[in-house]
Structure formats: C-alpha cells, structure tokens
Amino acid sequence: MDADNPTSATLAEPRVQTWPALSLAEAVERLCAPGSLFELEEVTVRGVRMRTWKNQPPSLAALARHARASFAGNEFIVYEDDRVSYEGWFRAVAALAHRLQQQGVGKGDRVAIAMRNLPEWPVAFFAITSIGAIAVPLNAWWQAQELRYGLDNAGARLLICDGERYQRIAPLRDALPDLAAIWVARAKAPLEEAEALEALIGAPGDYADLPDQDLPAVEIEPDDEATLFYTSGTTGAPKGALGTHRSALTGSLANAFSTHRSCLRRGEEPPPSRPRIALTVIPLFHVTACNASLMSTMMTGSKLVMMRKWDAVEAMALIEREKVTVTGGVPTIAWQLIEHPDRPKYDLSSLESVAYGGAPAAPELVRLIDSDMHVSPSSGWGMTETSATVTTHAGEDYVHRPDSCGPALPVSDIRIMALDGAREMPVGEVGELWAFGSQVVKGYWRNPEATAATFFDGWVRTGDLARVDAEGFCYIVDRAKDIVIRGGENIYCIEVENCLYAHPAVTDAALIGLPHRTLGEIPAAIVHLAPGQEASEAVLQAWVRARLAPFKVPERIHVCPTPLPRNANGKIIKAELRAFFDG
C-alpha cells in the first residue's frame, strides 16, 4: 500500500475512494472554531504562552463535580460483582476527601496510591487531588524495595493501597518515617499499623448510601501541582514527573477530538457525544489509562469495565456481556483478540474501536483491526512527561499511515531537532523529537539537574528519534534512551543491568530488546561471570525476579565466556549483542 496516496487501488472500498474529504488543517479549523467544543484559547503557563482547550475543566475537582452533575445515574465502574454509579462514586470521593483532611492532609502533601485496577482507585485519586494534595500513583507491579523508593522519594504522608501491596510494604514501614498512615482496601489478613479503607468509606457496593455532601472547599488553580507519576531514567533511579491539574486534564478532550477529526476526514459530520463502554485493561498508574482514558471517560459519562488480570477469553466474555465499544491499551491485547481461536464464539459486534499506545505496533496489526475485526484502529504517542497524549492517529488516517503515530493535537507542537539541539531538521529527516504544550509536566520531583536537562520554555526533549512528513504526521523510528518496551511497559536497561551486577558471580552485564510479534520486544540479557563462578540462566532470572517487577525479568539470559565487546570509551557495544540470540 502507498501510505502517502489516499486513492491507492489496494484500498478501493467506496468509503475510501474520496478520502480525505478535508485536509488536516481544514478539519482542525472546523473543530476548533469559536463556540465549538474544541475551541482553543491562549494561556500563560510558567511564563510561556501556549494553547489549551477552552472547555477543559479548570481542576480535577471541577471534573468530578461535572461528572456527578451530568451523569449521576450512569454506571461508571464495573468490576466483577461491583457496579458503581457516578453518584455513588462521587459520594465516596467526597467522604474520603473529608477523611484525608481530618488526617491532616492538605494542599501540596503527597498521598500515594498502590493498587491494581479497582473501583477504589479512581475514588482515591480524585479524593486526593480534590483537596489540592498530590496523588502519587505507584506501579502496582513493583516489588517491596521499588515501592519503598517511590514512597520515600515522594515523601508520601499517607498510602492508600490494596491488600497485596500492603503485604509487600508492611515489613519496610520503619524505613518510611514520613509515612503517617496506611489505608488498605480489600485486605485479606489482619492489619497492623494500618486501617481498612472500608471502615472509612464502606465497600463499593455501599457507596451510593454514603452521605450526600460536596467536596471540601479548597481553592485550586489550573497550574497547581496534582500528580506525581514515576518514570525511569538512564541513571536507573525512577524519576517523579510532577504534573498539574491543567496537564492532567489536557487529555480529557483528546480522544473526542481524534474521533471527530476522523469523521470529518471521511466526509461525515461528527455524531453527538454519547457515553462509551470501555474495557480498561491497562493499569491506572500509567498516564495512558489515567490522564488519557479516565479523564475522557468522565467528560462523556462513559463506563469503565475493569478486569483483575488480562485474559483474552474473559475479555471477550466481558465485551459480549457489557456491550463494550472500545478496548485495547497496548498492541499485545489487540493481537490476542484477533488471533484467539475462541473469538467466533463471542459476540464482539458492539466494538467500535481498538485503541492502544505505549509500544510500537506492526503495520500488519493496524490493517487486521480494520479488515478482520471491522473496527477503527486508534493509536497515538505520548510519555509520562507529557501527561500522555501529544499525537493521535485513528481511522483511515491510521490505515493509510500504519507506521505513524499521527499528527500533534491542536494544543500541542512537535519539532524534530538535531541531536545537539542546535537546529530543527528539515521535513522527512530524522532527529530527536521535542514536544510542547499545556500537558507537559513542570519537571522532575526534587531533581533539578534532570529537569534542566529535559525541560525548557514549555518543551520537553523526549529522547525518541523521529521524523515528520509534509502533512505533519510523526513517525517514531528509534529510541535515544536505553530502554526496552515490553508490551507497553518501559524497562530501563541500566536498572536490570545493575541488578545483575549485584549478583556475586556477574562481572559484565547488558540488557537488550529482542523483537517479539505481540509484545513488541522482550528483555534479554548477556552476562559474563567472574573466574571460577557459576550461575545459570534460571538462577540469574530468579535473582532479578526477587528484586524487580516481574515484567523486568530477562526472558533469556546468555552467559558469555568472554567479556562483552566495548568501544574505545569503554561502553558495551549493544549492536553486536543480538547475534548471541540469533537462531
């Protein structure tokens, strides 16, 4: 297929013959016209003029009030036997927000959340942020020491977690002097020095019976600090990306804009906004699920159907039972739905879109979603430092350019810069991707050096290598950062390498990514052992598994009899290491 020719004979269906009906610029002009839902306005953020959505809520508390006022009777969250309405959810948020204030939590205090996707997660997040405190979503896959690091680095005053995460962190409580209290949801064992969340606000099934009260009265400005999502850096230590109410809420209109733009591009008028039903399988501790999915869900009164753990058969049963209209998250999920032998047994006709991000997707997958599942493929690009979405890609645009991550949102700008940052690259040439907009975070928490190296004048240096075509479509071609992306999860090589180096037998270690059809990449390690030492692949995998999250464990480890190849500067030449796994 000729990706730049919209009348390619390989896409000869009637709906595509006249595509595109409007240019990108024409579609944006229509959608962002004065008085429209996507009208733009200029604001000054940290001394820099930038565009934002005029109709974006000014704070997360305002979004919570909007959702309750507009959709009180709608179902908001479905999880196993729990079904929570917007009204019940809001009452739980208000009750928990008042309890947080009674605990002494105030504006600017950090409150951590560590739990799998549960109805309690959005309750905790909005209770924290509605009183001006900073929500710190921690990776629920992290092991005890990783959780301890996040809590300590954030200076969290309080932790709201589930029973499984509590069991991990409880033995380390003495190492966290700033942590004044722990509230635990769904604990299955007696709690010591912690309180059951159910004792404070009840169980999800009881939320609708809580007192009818408003959120606490707190003055919150759009650029007040609201979130601290942890990402990792090439130094190996996770960094907290400090977001604001404005940056978190920029994604609240991004999905709707992308859908409307696709309609105009194919010559259709965008339909009236209506609630969608989303099967949510990516963790809410990621900005993709929280800032991109959760915020847009609440703007439209849509429903989140949660799963305890991804399972393709269970997912198809939920799609059929709940009449799910959108699902996805990462390309792996789409592959499993397409290829599962039981797919014909389930009625998936309610699906309208399969959306994903966080990992590169094969062009073949885009075409199969369109031609085999007969639904709209949707993707985009963003990062923790941009509070999720910067570019969006959907419908025919995505089918025609399956190797692109789409053009920038109207509230965003992107540039392709020379690696030294001295000049902007011409159209079509590869350089480092820089992103600009109101969704870019303030910087890294308590890390001025990394902040100064990454953020300036509203821009963030992403570390991704990319190019942009003449129409503004962005193509990610490589990563400047030393990471492996396994099914949407970033694995920072140095962190795993340092863990391997800590093993007494290992004197040389490197982590690389091996191509994988559905996961995108899998981590693989090459190690060299000290003379006289022995350590098998299984032993080293167990060593990493005991110290890091399971997704970071190398799926293959090759023990090399000689030291690893290095360049003149002493750096391991990773380009030569993939040969160890050939065949």
For domain 80-220, give its CATH number from 3.10.580.10, 3.30.1380.20, 3.40.50.300, 3.40.50.980: 3.40.50.980
Task: Write out the H or E segment, with its range, that includes residue 290.
Answer: none
> In sequence order, which residues have a C-beta less than 8 Å from that of residue 316 and are 6 or more positions away?
337, 340, 342, 343, 345, 346, 348
Q: Where are the domains of the chain?
A: 9-55+241-479, 80-220, 488-581
- Phi/psi region, residue 335 (left: phi>0; alpha: psi -120 to 50; beta: rest), is alpha
Reported CATH class of domain 488-581: alpha beta
Contact indicator for 464, 476 with CB cutoff of 8 Å? yes
Contacts by residues 71-75 (CB-CB < 8 Å, ≥ 24 positions apart): 71/275, 71/301, 74/275, 74/301, 74/303, 75/303
pLDDT tens digits in sequence order for the chain, 583 residues long = 233 333 333 333 334 457 899 999 999 999 999 999 999 999 999 999 999 999 999 999 999 999 999 999 999 999 999 999 999 999 999 999 999 999 999 999 999 999 999 999 999 999 999 999 999 999 999 999 999 999 999 999 999 999 999 999 999 999 999 999 999 999 999 999 999 999 999 999 999 999 999 999 999 999 999 999 998 644 467 899 999 999 999 999 999 999 999 999 999 999 888 899 999 998 999 999 999 999 999 999 999 999 998 899 999 999 999 999 999 887 778 888 988 999 999 999 999 999 987 666 778 889 889 999 999 999 999 999 999 999 999 999 999 999 899 999 999 999 999 988 999 999 999 899 999 999 999 999 999 999 999 999 999 999 988 999 999 999 988 776 778 989 888 887 878 988 998 898 988 889 999 999 888 899 999 999 988 889 999 999 999 999 999 999 999 999 999 888 876 545 678 888 988 998 5
Is 9-55+241-479's fold the same as 80-220's?
yes
* HEC secondary structure over 441-462: CCEECCCHHHHHHHEECCEEEE
* Number of other CB atoms surrounding residue 498 within 10 Å: 16
Token couple for 423: 């000049």
CA 288, 290, 291, 292 dihedral sign is positive
* Number of other CB atoms surrounding residue 539 within 10 Å: 12
Q: How far apart are CA 85 and CA 171, in angstroms?
A: 36
- pLDDT of amino acid 6: 31
Going by CATH, does the domain composed of 9-55+241-479 fall within 3.40.50.12780? yes
Q: How far apart are CA 45 and CA 416, in angstroms?
A: 23
Judging by beta carbons within 10 Å of its beta carbon (0-12, 13-18, 19+), is residue 44 exposed, middle or buried? Answer: exposed
DSSP 8-state symbol, 408? B
Rounded to 10°, the helix 60-71/120-130 angle is 130
- pLDDT of amino acid 14: 38
SS3 71: helix
Strand partners, 135: 111, 227
Residues in the chain: 583
